[in-house]
Chains A and B, each alone.
Chain A
């Protein structure tokens, strides 16, 4: 069957067709559409798919499914893997039973992220194989193969997506589906326990598997070497470097030899073969110069290796057909020659008109206005846009949940007043544990939980718990009920809200203020649905 799918959807459909039983994830651009597709299909196709509190819990749930013999998928964006890293890195030592595939969607160019870290680096660190598709069709095929590889080697397998595959549509041919695995609990008990004694055994076993996986990579159809007799230049492509190389290849005067790497661990023998038959190598890889660094090493001896390290390819941002063209030494193409610099200005993203966050920020700013110095920490979500004018209300954006711990530290170092702002979903994801630390020491800080009852930035996924259950949760963590307050962020409540925030700033201990109003986009979407 042929249909038009986003890369994310192709991955999801492949997992379903591969006999998926359980899927877990946390929303994050550009990975979100995988789980949305799975959730929409889960009832009809008879598997479980759900959002989780964070990427670590998602990964651990998938481990449980694998132990039970079932195929499981975990989805997240690249920085989500940092959160899941403890579970992930350790799981490489386990005796993975039902196929365990994790899709991590990287965001080179930082279209919607705080960094452009490369998942291949973490995969290599954990010694876990990686598939890297360059088309939607390949995304489908590699995902199906990834489950096979996971079960064959007894390891988790990563599919590394990037924005331009995840969020690009093309037509995809799907293949016959395979039934789900039967329930079949793993009988390898030591393979699931990382006590020093068993972990030593499991670690040695992983190192043994690594050799087999390299041998597999050498003969994988995903790693293709095309040696051109007499060619001086050898090209190694990784990820989308392949597409952009192919896009420009017809304009090259001399056809270079070419190795494409779509499956890791790196196929060392294939690389050696290419190296031996050319005079110099150009590496075109999407993300960090990972292949390139392996080739050059510290000494940089041998034939010239060009790429991101020597400046032939741009070091930051994503690859494009144009910067790859330049790296290939091809001239720029002429384009419509009209200077428009005087009539185009940037149009940065902004909070939606009527967004509750804008009113929360207005009240916080008003409450802090008379203090000579203050700190407002913030977090990851739509409300990060409060950093930009006209709000310019926040001063830190680091990682999911950091606003809470950073406020505590800054307060304990002596700053006053300190206000932390965090969204409801982000708080549950990564802020809650830091609030427990706060309860222990009662730092002089005010935490404002921006409760818009949704995961707004990624398109309005439900939060783990409804607003009504937030206050009992915070009380349960031990926050003094006298300093748990609620405000409704609306322009007509501005004075009242400012007063409440001021009162809590003037209280020299831990306060938590809920600022509760639904995201207007989510409210609109609900209204459309019920119509």
Chain B
């Protein structure tokens, strides 16, 4: 079993912590993990891409190959389409619906949504709104993990434990907010 993921969004949105939590949960489930990130110049409000590979066998490449991603998890709708070349023909896109419009020529949002809907099985949810309901907009990455959780090779409990471990230092209420956000994503239809 190998599960390949593309995790993407805009610099500063929390793509890397999203990747870190899935990686952590997978490791605690005794799976092998390779997670590749890009730091530096590209983080300044530009497009951000992380590759995450999870397997019960040996993983050679840190990068996902074209046509082999099972899942694209995106913090931003247009970004969710940027890396479709990586997606398997039957792969799934899980993305936040709220756009980040920090460029002048952002495409027509309805057209973006239409393309996302064209990927069968895709999920485009108001992650930021759901996170806000759960207690904090900043937890929208947890909403996405929740929404993607049925497709991940780890169970919900190990994901929740990874969330607890990650936010423990920030106090119980931050942990609660993030867990709630996770549940909101998981229960989203």
Query: What CA separation (Å) do A347 and B24 show in the bound complex?
Result: 29
**Cβ contact within 8 Å between A325 and B65:** yes
Q: Cβ of A457 < 8 Å from any Cβ of B?
A: yes
Q: Cβ of B150 < 8 Å from any Cβ of A?
A: no
Q: Which of A338-371 contact B (CB under 8 A)?
A: 338, 340, 342-352
Contacts of A441 in B (CB 8 A): none
**Cβ contact within 8 Å between A340 and B41:** no
**Cβ contact within 8 Å between B78 and A321:** no
Interchain CB contact (< 8 A) of A343 among B64, B102, B115: B115
Contacts of A458 in B (CB 8 A): 40
Counting contact residues on chain A (CB < 8 A from B), the size range is: 35 or more
Q: Which of A80-88, A204-212, A329-337, A422-430 contacts B (4 or more CB under 8 A)?
A: A329-337
Contacts of A33 in B (CB 8 A): 39
Q: Least Cβ distance of A446 to chain B in Å?
A: 27
Q: Cβ of B68 < 8 Å from any Cβ of A?
A: yes
Chain B CB within 10 A, most for which of A30, A240, A332, A335:
A335
Interchain CB contact (< 8 A) of A338 among B40, B66, B106, B119: B119
Chain B CB within 10 A, most for which of A168, A169, A344, A350:
A169
Q: Cβ of B187 < 8 Å from any Cβ of A?
A: no
Contacts of A348 in B (CB 8 A): 46, 103
Contacts of B32 in A (CB 8 A): 170-171
Interface residues as binary, B62-103 with A (CB distance below 8 Å gives 1, 0 otherwise): 111111100000000011011011111101000000000011
Contacts of B82 in A (CB 8 A): 340, 344
Query: What CA separation (Å) do A320 and B60 show in the bound complex?
Result: 12
**Cβ contact within 8 Å between B38 and A344:** no
Interchain CB contact (< 8 A) of B40 among A30, A321, A335, A336: A30
**Cβ contact within 8 Å between B111 and A343:** yes
Interface residues as binary, B110-126 with A (CB distance below 8 Å gives 1, 0 otherwise): 01100100110000000
**Cβ contact within 8 Å between A4 and B33:** yes
Q: Cβ of A434 < 8 Å from any Cβ of B?
A: no
Q: Cβ of A111 < 8 Å from any Cβ of B?
A: yes
Q: Report if A338-B84 is in contact (Cβ < 8 Å); known contacts: A171-B32, A332-B67.
A: yes
**Cβ contact within 8 Å between A169 and B33:** yes
Contacts of B47 in A (CB 8 A): 346-347
Query: What CA separation (Å) do A321 and B38 show in the bound complex?
Result: 17
**Cβ contact within 8 Å between A322 and B112:** no
Q: Which of B1-47 contact A (CB under 8 A)?
A: 10-11, 20, 23-24, 27, 32-47
**Cβ contact within 8 Å between B43 and A335:** no
Q: Cβ of A246 < 8 Å from any Cβ of B?
A: yes
**Cβ contact within 8 Å between A169 and B34:** yes
Contacts of B108 in A (CB 8 A): 343
Contacts of A112 in B (CB 8 A): 38-42
**Cβ contact within 8 Å between A334 and B65:** no
Q: Cβ of B61 < 8 Å from any Cβ of A?
A: yes
User: Closest residue of chain B to A249, judged by CB?
Assistant: B60
Q: Which of A214-247 contact B (CB under 8 A)?
A: 240, 242-244, 246-247
Q: Report if A164-B36 is in contact (Cβ < 8 Å); known contacts: A347-B10, A347-B103, A352-B44.
A: yes
**Cβ contact within 8 Å between A342 and B107:** yes
User: Closest residue of chain A to B38, judged by CB?
Assistant: A111
Q: Least Cβ distance of A525 to chain B in Å?
A: 13
Q: Cβ of A42 < 8 Å from any Cβ of B?
A: no
Q: Cβ of A498 < 8 Å from any Cβ of B?
A: no
Interchain CB contact (< 8 A) of A340 among B37, B46, B64, B81: B81
Contacts of B23 in A (CB 8 A): 4, 169
**Cβ contact within 8 Å between B61 and A244:** yes
Q: Cβ of B189 < 8 Å from any Cβ of A?
A: no
Contacts of A349 in B (CB 8 A): 11, 41-46
Q: Least Cβ distance of B104 to chain A in Å?
A: 9
User: Closest residue of chain B to A246, judged by CB?
Assistant: B60
Q: Least Cβ distance of B111 to chain A in Å?
A: 5
Contacts of B46 in A (CB 8 A): 347-350
User: Closest residue of chain A to B43, judged by CB?
Assistant: A349
Q: Cβ of A165 < 8 Å from any Cβ of B?
A: yes
Interface residues as binary, A12-43 with B (CB distance below 8 Å gives 1, 0 otherwise): 00000000000000000110110000000000
Contacts of A346 in B (CB 8 A): 47
Interchain CB contact (< 8 A) of B65 among A240, A242, A247, A338: A247
Query: What CA separation (Å) do A282 and B43 show in the bound complex?
Result: 36
Query: What CA separation (Å) do A351 and B12 show in the bound complex?
Result: 12
Q: Cβ of A494 < 8 Å from any Cβ of B?
A: no
Q: Least Cβ distance of B66 to chain A in Å?
A: 5
Please name 5 further chain A to chain B contacts, defined as beta carbons within 8 Å, in addition to the given A164-B62, A246-B61, sorted by A numbering: A240-B61, A322-B66, A340-B82, A345-B105, A457-B40
Residues in A lying within 8 Å of B, measured CB to CB? 4, 29-30, 32-33, 111-112, 163-165, 167-171, 240, 242-244, 246-247, 320-322, 325, 332-338, 340, 342-352, 382, 384-385, 457-459
Could you show 30 A-B contacts with beta carbons less than 8 Å apart?
A: A4-B23, A30-B40, A33-B39, A111-B41, A165-B62, A168-B34, A168-B37, A170-B33, A247-B61, A320-B63, A322-B65, A332-B66, A333-B68, A334-B89, A335-B84, A335-B86, A335-B89, A336-B89, A337-B89, A338-B118, A343-B108, A343-B111, A344-B78, A344-B107, A346-B47, A349-B41, A349-B43, A349-B45, A350-B45, A457-B40
Residues in B lying within 8 Å of A, measured CB to CB? 10-11, 20, 23-24, 27, 32-47, 59-68, 78-79, 81-82, 84-89, 91, 102-103, 105-108, 111-112, 115, 118-119
Chain A to chain B: the 5 pairs with minimum beta-carbon distance, closest first: A112-B40, A29-B40, A333-B67, A349-B46, A335-B67
